[in-house]
Homo-oligomer: A and B are copies of this chain.
Amino acid sequence: MNFASDTTAPAHPNVISAVLSANHDTAPSYGADPWTNKAKNALCDLFETDLAVTFVNSGTAANALALSLLCPPDGAILCHENAHINRDERGAPEFFTHGGKLLLLSGDHDRIFEDGLKAALKTIDRNFVHETPADVLSLSQLSEAGTAYDRALVSTLCAMAHEAGLHTHMDGARFANALANTGASPADMTWRAGVDVLSFGFTKNGAMGAEAVVLFGQHAKLFSSLEARRKRSGHMPPKQRYISAQVLAMLDNDLWLNLARHANAMASQLAEGFERSGAVLKHPVQGNEIFVCLKEGQETQLRAAGAQFYGWLDGSARFVTSWHTDPSDIQRALAALA
């Protein structure tokens, strides 16, 4: 009953098998290996377009590298005030952008909406040298509240950003969960909706440690700069094949999506049980995260039964499910509340 985080889960067996299978013979270093090439092709298929991509082993690295491509040192990134890039990455975006600023927006359930973005874009004056103009809009999918942006909202926000001269980034650490929830296709949720660069996370979803930085459309020409930044930041491990092999395993036969569907289903069951028990959901459950205001006594009951979860700053409790969550975990947790 570990609901502490999806990062506490082990890797899916297929991922380990793929690593094992890749472990033979010599292979070119630094991404010139066949697994890396195959992983790129698999992503082109998945996204129904040509694209450029590189693979790293942490989501913070993926986000920071992506943002550093889009935001100059004297520029800024618009994001939600609770975005992971603002709250939980120890200043990685500031480090990789060499001091770029994060300009923070509010919005219910940790999402940005049209009004908030409009107001922020209106203040931009690129000729006024004293203030830092925004260069990037970054959306978190899932948001830190576990909510998903639907395709239409992504599309609206990206169009507004583009019109104001901004680039767009999606932090897709839980991209799979968002797609499993919304039913949108990878292409529809990203480049067709105006996303320029995507951090596509596989780690929380079942890999050992594998994240993709995906450059769509015209932004693919930033690839050589991305590779230089990757090397310079120590994110170009010589035996790249072991990261790419993980991605291949995840993409094979839609494993990534099926694992996310399972995690989401587990979260839905748990959330429904919580509501039946009288606890109140803090945010809509649109992925594999539940933020819930427990009734008095429930926390004690759950912990006594062995459930692991975090108390949140807003007073709620956070439960995260994963590909590894067993239905019996849900049943035991809910039984503890009965």
A contact residues vs B (CB 8 Å cutoff): 2, 4-5, 7-11, 13, 16, 19-20, 22-30, 56-65, 73-74, 76, 87-92, 94-95, 97-102, 104, 123, 126-127, 129-132, 203-204, 208-209, 224-225, 227-239, 242-243, 313, 324
Contacts and interface: CB of A to CB of B under 8 A. Distances in A.
B58 A234 contact: yes
B95 A73 contact: yes
Contacts of A234: 56, 58, 60-65, 89, 92, 233, 235
| A-B complex: 4 closest residue pairs judged by Cβ atoms | A61-B234, A7-B238, A94-B99, A2-B26
Contact of A30 (B74, B129, B229, B237): B129
B23 A235 contact: no
Q: Is the interface of A mostly helix, strand, loop or mixed?
A: loop
A313 to B, nearest CB: 7
Given A74-B228, A234-B56, A238-B7, A100 B91 contact: yes
Most buried by B among A88, A95, A238: A238
A39 to B, nearest CB: 16
Contacts of A129: 30, 90, 224, 227-228, 230-231, 236
Nearest to A13: B23
A58 B91 contact: no
A57 B25 CA distance: 21
Contacts of A76: 91
Given A95-B73, A234-B60, A8 B20 contact: no
**This chain's copy number in the assembly:** 4
Contacts of A229: 74
A140 B93 CA distance: 27
B130 A231 contact: yes
A152 to B, nearest CB: 31
A208 B242 contact: yes
Contacts of A225: 74
B209 A239 contact: yes
A241 to B, nearest CB: 8
Given A10-B24, A25-B10, A123-B313, A238 B203 contact: yes
A306 to B, nearest CB: 12
Given A8-B26, A98-B98, A313-B123, A90 B238 contact: no
Contacts of A61: 233-235
Given A10-B22, A58-B238, 18 more contacts: A5-B29, A8-B26, A16-B20, A19-B208, A23-B208, A26-B324, A57-B57, A62-B234, A63-B234, A73-B73, A73-B98, A74-B232, A89-B232, A91-B132, A129-B230, A203-B238, A209-B237, A209-B238
B74 A90 contact: yes
Most buried by B among A57, A59, A234, A313: A234
Contacts of A232: 73-74, 89-92, 95
Given A10-B23, A73-B95, A130 B238 contact: no
